[in-house]
Amino acid sequence: MIKLAIILSMFSSLGFSKTYIIRMKKSVGLQTSSLRSYLGGVKIKRLDLSFGNFYLVSIKTKSQINQLKKLTKSKHFISVDRNTKIQINPITHKDSYIKRSKRSNRRGIDDTLFKDQWALKNTGDNAASRKVPVGVKGMDLNALKAWKNNKGDRKIKIAIVDTGLNATHKDLAPNTFINEAEAKGADGVDDDGNGFIDDVYGYDFYNNDGDPKDDHAHGSHCAGIIGAAHNDLGIRGLMSNVQMIGLKAFSGSGSGSLAGILKSIDYALKSKVDIISNSWGSSSNPSSAFQAAVDAAEKQGVLFIKAAGNSNGNNDVVGNDSNLKNPNVIIVGAHNGKGEKSYFSSYGKKNVHVFAPGSAILSTVLGTGYEKFSGTSMATPYVAALAGLIKSSEPNLTAPEIRDRIINTSVSSGNLGKYSVSKGRVDAHRALNNITK
């Protein structure tokens, strides 16, 4: 009764011409045509997802919405959700690093822009951001110490659900996943038989084609944070060895929907990834369809890393789609160069697990360039990469064990004690060595 009341309330609060995602019991075997007939000729499409029997339904009239309400009372029905529209809006900075990113003439030194990556090595004077004119030395991921233990492994696959991935960027190409069957196969043919044509680097679920080329920059920025090559060029990712799969669920303007996200997550699970990085969000609690996707990731043993949001809100008391309880999930807030909560970052002593660098983060973008973005979007891939480093070192650890490791090895810092489960920020060296004191 409670579930139905919530559904009916949702219908009454929304107008017509809306798109919904309905889930039916698989045992029913309902066909798209029969559902279309039942709902009065609506536009309907079956979503080919492995974790449920989902349909995308466009409602335009009062009679159609009344029929959908009746369907929710059926024994064949499981859930209904709005196909929520989600917008990615990173906080950008004016600095451009394109001209200073040429390859160094000397071998064996840090990549040419590494000195600007305070998240990896905070010298204090390289960590300025909005509202933080000077950072504090050492308030970083402790990456240099961590790399003495491990720099990653090409066996680790991380899916990035975002605006796509700039696979031709010289700093991203070495660690971008390549589907060899499709790369060596014929154009326009599903060479590997996975149901997707020409998916060499991943897939574009916004334009429904095999090329997840980034036309925004946000996804490529997140990719650089995870796995920009250690190649004496530009920046460094927290992992120097990894396979990053680009899954484009958002357009060049940063707009996307729940349906595209669900399809992206499903592709990632079918691709047997270890980690899914999600730098996006909405101000509503997790929908039943999204929860089903996260449950499927948990069942498969996949870590699900999710941004806490940039509303400076307390996720313990306000709605947020990152409010997930699964043991394979890590929700990430952002801290600045002083080791304090970034002014924009959402938080929650119950619903946000850790904090990671997220203010004025330098990373790869479109073309050959590098730019600084801010957001929990930037903190999230750092935690995804940290999980990848741990998985590289200890491949037998489960997703919940890695989650607990990252939380328990976090260090207290600034004002973070009151903002998260861990009461602090992540430290890669401590996490790799399981240092909890």
Fold (topology level) of 91-433? Rossmann fold (3.40.50)
**At 410, is the secondary structure helix, strand, or coil?**
coil
Whether 2 has a pLDDT exceeding 50, the answer reads: no
The pLDDT of residue 245 is 98
What is the average pLDDT across 270-292? 95
**At 430, is the secondary structure helix, strand, or coil?**
helix
Q: Which part of the chain is CATH 3.30.70?
A: 2-83
pLDDT digits (tens, 9 = 90+) for 163-219: 999 999 999 999 999 999 999 999 999 999 999 999 999 999 999 999 999 999 999
Whether 26 has a pLDDT exceeding 80, the answer reads: no
Whether 391 has a pLDDT exceeding 50, the answer reads: yes
How does residue 64 score in pLDDT terms, banded at 50, 70 and 90?
confident
Whether 101 has a pLDDT exceeding 60, the answer reads: no
The pLDDT of residue 70 is 85
**At 176, is the secondary structure helix, strand, or coil?**
strand
Q: Do the Cβ atoms of 244 and 238 come closer than 8 Å?
A: no
Cα–Cα distance, 344 to 334 (Å, whole number): 8
> Of residues 169, 216, 218, 230, which has the active-site annotation?
218
How does residue 12 score in pLDDT terms, banded at 50, 70 and 90?
very low
C-alpha separations of 220 from 1, 57, 169, 226 in Å: 45, 32, 9, 10
Is 79 marked active-site? no
Percent of the chain scored above 90 by pLDDT?
A: 78
Q: Within 10 Å of residue 26's Cβ, how many Cβ atoms?
A: 10
The pLDDT of residue 99 is 45
Q: Which part of the chain is CATH 3.40.50.200?
A: 91-433
Q: Do the Cβ atoms of 223 and 364 come closer than 8 Å?
A: yes
Residues 6+ apart with CB under 8 A from 309: 281, 283, 315, 320, 322, 345, 346, 376
Run of H or E including 332: strand 329-335
> Of residues 111, 140, 153, 162, which has the active-site annotation?
162
Q: Do the Cβ atoms of 351 and 328 come closer than 8 Å?
A: no
Whether 106 has a pLDDT exceeding 50, the answer reads: no
- Residue for token pair 């000397």: 106
Is 162 marked active-site? yes
Whether 45 has a pLDDT exceeding 50, the answer reads: yes
Lowest mean pLDDT among 55-64, 294-303, 393-402: 55-64
Between these two residues, 48 and 388, which has the higher pLDDT value? Answer: 388
Cα–Cα distance, 194 to 270 (Å, whole number): 9
> Of residues 377, 392, 410, 422, which has the active-site annotation?
377
CATH 3.90.550 fits 2-83, yes or no: no
Run of H or E including 253: none
Bridging pattern class, strands 370-374 and 91-96: antiparallel
Lowest mean pLDDT among 50-64, 84-98, 124-138, 416-430: 84-98
What order do you get walking across the sheet with 18-24 strand by strand?
43-47, 53-59, 18-24, 77-82
What is the average pLDDT across 262-280? 98
Is 277 marked active-site? no
